[in-house]
Structure 1
C-alpha cells in the first residue's frame, strides 16, 4: 500500500515525465516490429485511469498519445520505403512470417488497413512498414495514419478513464460473499490475462530487453572515455566484467540474485520502519481488518480456514517430507539441502521476528484465537519460502515456456490466497503479511542461489525419471492430499463469537457531549481506509438502543438499507442505468475511529427536473452514554445525480443533508432535545469518492424520546 501511494505521489510530482512516457510508449507501440513486444496500449489505458484520479489531464494525454502514434507509424512508413531491414526467421523481431501477415492484411483492406491495423495486435506494428514497401502515396498514408492514431488514442484513453472512474467507485464499496467472490474471480482473471500476455509475448519481450541492454552495453564499452578508464583500472574492470558473465553462476546469475536480495531486504526494512514509526501502513492495518470483519461471511470464512491450513505446522512438515521424498525418489537429492535451508532459515527468522517485535494480534476481529505474536506472518513466510521453492523446482523440471508460466502463476495465486486468508480471518495485519512475504522471499533467494550453485558445480541431472519413481511420487502426493483433508476436517479451529467482547461504556452529561467525544479521543471526522481525514461528523444522536434509533429514523421516512452484497449492488446499478435507484440500495461504507459504519439509512429525494436521487445517513456506535441512552455519531449526504448514468454524485453542501435529517426527525415528533454543537471548524475537502464538499463544521445533537 505504501509503495503504491509513493508511486502515485511521484507520478503527481513528475507529471511531465508521465506525459513523455505516454508519448514514448505510443511511439514504440507503433514502430515497425518493435511494437509487437512493447505493451504501449496497456500503458495508455493505465494513464487514462490515472486521469480519472486527477493525476493527468485527459486532453493533454490525448495529444501526447496521438502524436507518439502518428510519429511511430510515420517512421515505420519511411523504413518501409527504404526497405533496409534484413528479415530472417532466426531474428526475434524481423521475421518474414510477420511481414507476410502484414502484407496479406494490407492487400485485403488497402489504405484503410493503416487505420484498422492499429486495433489488431498481431499486425499493428507491421502494416505501416508494408504500406511503405508497397509504395503507398505519402499523402494518402498520413490521412489514414492521423485518423487511426486519433481513434486509437481516444478509445484507449477513454477506456482507461472509465475504468479509473469505476474503480474509484469500487474503492468505496465492499461486499459480503457475492462481491468478495467476484473480486477473487477478477483477481484470478487478471492473473490469467497477465499469464496469457507473457505466453504470447514474454519471450519476445525478454529478447527485446536483452537486445536493448546489449546495445546500451556495447555503446558504453566503445565509448572513448570508458576505454580510457578500463585501461587505467584493468583489475577492477575485469572483476566487473566477470560479474556479468552469463556462462558462470558466479557471473550474471549470482549478480541478479544478489541485487534481488538487496532490493527485497530494503523493502523489508521499509516495512519494519513503517511499523516502528506508525506510518500510514499501520492506519491501513487497523481499518482493513475492521472492514473485513464488518463484512465477513460464514461461507468465505470456511473457505479461507481451509486455505489457511496450508501454513499450519503439521501441514508444512507433511509438505516438506513429501517434497524431500519425491526429490530422493527422482534422484534430485542435490536440491534437498537448499530446500531445507530455505524452509528452516525462514521459519527460524520468522519466530525470532515475532519475539523481537512482540506485536499483538488484531483485537476483537479474529475468527479464532492465535497465541503467538503477529509480526511477521508465519503463513506468509511459508507461502513464499516453502511453496515458492516448490514452484522453483517445478520450473526447473519443465522446459516449455507456457508450462513454466502456468506453474509460476499458479504458485502466485496460492501465495496470495494464503496471505489474504490471514487478513480475512482477522488474525494478522496487512503489514504482517507483507513483512512475511518479504522475509520468505529473502530466504527463497538464498535457497535458489544455493541450489543453482550446486547445479553449476555438479552439472545438470538427467530429465528422465523411471516410471516406478514417478508412481511412488504420485502415491506420496495422494497421501499428502488425504492427510491435508483429514487434518482439516479434524483440526479446524473453533470460531469465536462474531460480536467479540463488549466495549466499556463511558457516561457523559448531555450538555458536554462534544467535550465527551474529545476527552475520549473520538475523532470529529470520518476517514479514508488509509486514515486520511474526510468529512466532519454532522450528527450525534442519543437513543435508548439500536432499535430505538432505527424506529426514530423510520418515523422520519428513513429506511435501513440492504446489506452490501453482489446481488444488491448489481440490482442498484441496473436500476440506476434505467434512471431509477432503489430506496434501500446499499450505501458505500465510510470509516470513523478505524471502523466502517455500523448502520446505513436512506430515503428517496426528488431532484430538479424529476430526476431521482436520495439522501443517505451513516451511523457508528460509540462507547458514550448520556441520560441512560447510547450515543451514536453519523454523517448525512445527498445524492444529486449520477456520473456516466451509474455512479452516484454527491451534493457539495453537507450541511443541507444534515439539516434535512434533523427536520425529518423533529417533524415526526420523536425528538426530545435538539441543538447544534461545535465539533470541528468550517472546512472544505473531498469525499472518499472524490466529490468536493463544504461544511460549517457544526453537528446536530439529538435526543430521541424514550
Structure 2
C-alpha cells in the first residue's frame, strides 16, 4: 500500500491535470460502502489536498470535487442497500465481517436521520450508514437532502487543512511562519487530545479540564500575539489570494450570522423557547454561555486594544482581539452542541460538538477572508467561547447532569433559531456590502 501510494503521488506531481479526477474518485471511494473501510481515504485525501494547494487547483475547486465525489459515494451506497435490502448481508465481504453492518444498523436505528450527520465523522460508520439507510428504505429525497448537508461539512473539514498546507509551502511566507504555526497547531492538538481522551473515559472532571486547558491556551495566545505576527501575516496572505466577488457575497452572508444584533436575537429567542418548554437548566446553559462570553470578550478587547488588518477601504473603528463574531458564534453553536449530546455516549457527544463547531468556524473564517480580523483573533474568540461554555457546563452539572431535550423541543427551537439567524443575516447584507468594501 505504501509503495502504491508513493507511486501515485509522484505520478500526480508530474501529471497535475489528473489531480481533480483523482480527488473526485478517492472521495467517492472514501464514502462508498465497504471500500471506505478498506482504503486509507483520510490520509490519501489529505495528500491530494496538499498537491492541490501547491498550485494545481483552487481551494473552492478542491472542496467542490471532494463534495461531489462524497455525494456520489453516498448515492451508490444507498442504491446498493435499496436494491439488495436484507440480501446485502450475504455479500462476500459483509458475510465475513457482519459486525460492520450490525454496528451501522444499530447506530442508524437509534439516531435516525441524525446518524447520517454525526456518523459522517466516524470513520467505520461513514461508508456504511448510507448503505443501511437504503436497506431500511429511508425515503430517497430525505436521504439526499441530509447527505448534501453532511457532505458539505465533511468536504471542508477533510480538504481545507491539506490545501492550506500545500498553499503555505508554495507561497513566500514571512520568516518564522512555520515555527509559529507548529507551536500553535501543536498546542491545540495537545489540548484536544487530552479533552477527547478524558471524555472518552467518562472522567468526572473532563469538562473542568476542557475549561482549564482552553483558558490556559487563550491566555498564552493573548500574551504571545506579538510573537505570532508571522503566522497572522502568512495566513492572511493565503486567504486574501482566494478572494473574488462571488465568494465575497457568500462570506458577507455568513459573517452576518455572527453580528452582535443577530446573535443577541438568536440567543434571546433560543433561551425564551427553552423557558417556555420548561427546560430551565438548558435555558440557563445557553444564556450563561452567550452572556459570559460577550462580557469577557468586551473586556479583553479593550484590555489588548489590537488594531485590525489594513484590508478594508474604511477600517472598522473597534478593536480586533478577540473576535466578537468568532466568540459569539462558537458560544451559540457550542451550547447547541452540548444540548444535542446530552444523554448520549462520549463519542457521540464529541461528534455533536464537532458538528456544532462547523458553522461557527465558517463565521470565524469569514472574518479573516473579509480582512477584518487576524487569524489569531478568531482563534482567541473560539478558545474564549470554549473555555466559558465548558466552565459554565461544569458549574451547572456540579450536582446533576443536564437532561437531554426531547425531539419535540428540538423541532421547536432549532428551525426557529436557524431561520432567525438566516433572516437577520440576509436583511443586513446591503449594509454589509458597504461596510466591508476593500
Relative to the length of structure 1, the TM-score reads 0.36
The 1:327/1:430 distance shift into structure 2, 3 A limit, reads: same
Q: Could you say if the C-alpha distance between residues 174 and 340 of structure 1 is closer, same or farther in structure 2, counting changes exceeding 3 Å?
A: farther
Aligned-pair CA distance for 1:418 = 1.0
Displacement of 1:402 in angstroms is: 10
Q: 2:317 aligns with which of 371, 377, 381?
A: 371
Residue 196 of structure 1: CA displacement? 4.2
> For residue 182 of structure 1, what is the aligned residue in structure 2?
61
CA RMSD of aligned residues (A): 4.4
2:208 maps to 1:282: no
Alignment of 1:345-364 (within 5 A): 345-363=292-310
Q: Are the structure 2 counterparts of residues 383 and 48 from structure 1 closer, same or farther at C-alpha, using a change threshold of 3 Å?
A: farther
CA shift at 1:440, angstroms? 1.0
Are 2:257 and 1:310 equivalent residues in the alignment?
yes
Question: For the residues of structure 2 that align with 1:353 and 1:338, how far apart are their CA atoms?
Answer: 22
**Contact 2:221 2:380 (8 Å CA) reproduced:** yes
Q: 1:263 to 1:496 in 2, by over 3 A?
A: closer
Aligned equivalents of 1:350 and 1:318: distance in 2?
Answer: 18
CA displacement, residues 368-389 of structure 1 (integer Å, 9 cap, x when unaligned): 6322111111111122212110
- 1:511-552 Cα shifts (integer Å, max 9, x gaps): xxxxxxxxxxxxxxxxxxxxxxxxxxxxxxxxxxxxxxxxxx
Name the counterpart of 1:487. 427
1:415 and 2:360 are equivalent in the alignment: yes
Change (3 A) 1:389 1:185: farther
Distance 1:291 1:264 in 2: 27
Max radius of gyration: which structure? 1
Provide Cα deviations, 1:600-633, integer angstroms capped at 9, x if missing partner: xxxxxxxxxxxxxxxxxxxxxxxxxxxxxxxxxx
Pair 1:356–1:328, CA change in 2 (3 A): same
Contact 1:388–1:444 (CA under 8 A) maintained in structure 2: yes
Is 1:173 aligned with 2:49? no
Aligned counterparts of 1:380 and 1:462: Cα–Cα separation in 2: 26
Query: Does 1:336 pair with 2:336?
Result: no
User: Contact between 2:341 and 2:404, CA under 8 Å: does it hold in 1?
Assistant: no
Give the structure 1 partner of residue 338 of structure 2.
392
Question: Does residue 452 of the first structure (1) align with residue 331 of the second (2)?
Answer: no
Counterparts of 1:289 and 1:374, CA distance in 2: 14
Structure with higher RCO (Cα < 8 A, 6+ apart): 2
Q: Secondary structure at the match of 1:341?
A: helix
Q: CA deviation at 1:455?
A: 3.8
User: Take 1:270 and 1:180, find their aligned partners in 2: how far apart are those partners?
Assistant: 31
Unaligned runs of 5+ in 2: 11-33, 72-116, 129-198
**CA gap 1:314/1:451 in 2 versus in 1, 3 angstroms:** same
TM-fit CA distance, 1:442: 0.3
Q: Are 1:379 and 1:418, in contact at CA under 8 Å, matched by a contact in 2?
A: yes
* Matched residue SS, 1:453: coil
Please tell me whether the aligned partners of residues 379 and 419 of structure 1 are also in contact (alpha carbons under 8 angstroms): yes
1:268 aligns with 2:209: no
The one of 436, 439, 442 equivalent to 2:384 is 439
- 1:136 paired residue number: none
Distance 1:354 1:186, change over 3 A: farther
Q: How far 1:291 sits from its partner (Å)?
A: 3.7
Residue in structure 2 matched with residue 383 of structure 1 by the alignment: 329
Is this contact kept in 1: 2:257–2:421, CA < 8 A? no
Aligned partners of 1:272 and 1:301: how far apart in 2? 29
Q: Say which is worse superposed, 348-357 or 186-195, in terms of deviation.
A: 186-195
Distance between the aligned counterparts of 2:388 and 2:6, measured in 1?
38
Change (3 A) 1:341 1:296: same
1:341–1:422 distance in 2 versus 1, CA, 3 Å: same
Considering fraction of residues, name the structure with more helix: 2
Q: d(CA) in 1 for partners of 2:215 and 2:335?
A: 18
C-alpha distance 483-395 of structure 1, shift in aligned 2 (>3 A): same
Q: Aligned pairs, how many? A: 295
More deviation in 478-487 or 307-316? 478-487
8 Å Cα contact 2:270/2:413 also seen in 1: no
Change beyond 3 A, Cα 1:285–1:192:
farther
Matched-pair contact (CA < 8 Å) for 1:350–1:378: yes
TM-score, with structure 2 as normaliser: 0.55
For residues 443 and 183 of structure 1, do their structure 2 counterparts lie closer, same or farther at Cα, with a shift above 3 Å needed?
farther
Alpha-carbon offset, residue 263 of structure 1:
2.1
The residue matched to 1:359 in structure 2 has which SS? coil
Q: CA deviation at 1:167?
A: 5.0
Q: Given that residues 338 and 450 in structure 1 are in contact (C-alpha distance below 8 angstroms), is that contact kept between their aligned partners in structure 2?
A: no
Greater mean alpha carbon deviation, residues 377-386 or residues 305-314:
377-386
Alignment check: 8 A CA contact 1:361 1:428 kept: yes
1:424-453 CA deviation, whole Å, 9 max, x = no partner? 000111111111111111011012223333
The answer to whether the 8 A contact 1:384-1:437 is kept is: yes
CA distance in 1, matches of 2:202, 2:347: 25
The Cα shift of 1:480 comes to 1.7
SS of the residue 1:197 aligns to: coil
Answer yes or no: is 1:195 the counterpart of 2:142: no
User: CA–CA distance in 1 between the matches of 2:404 and 2:352?
Assistant: 20
C-alpha separation in 1, matches of 2:418 and 2:280? 21
Contact 1:329 1:473 in 2 (8 A): no
Q: CA deviation at 1:497?
A: 5.3
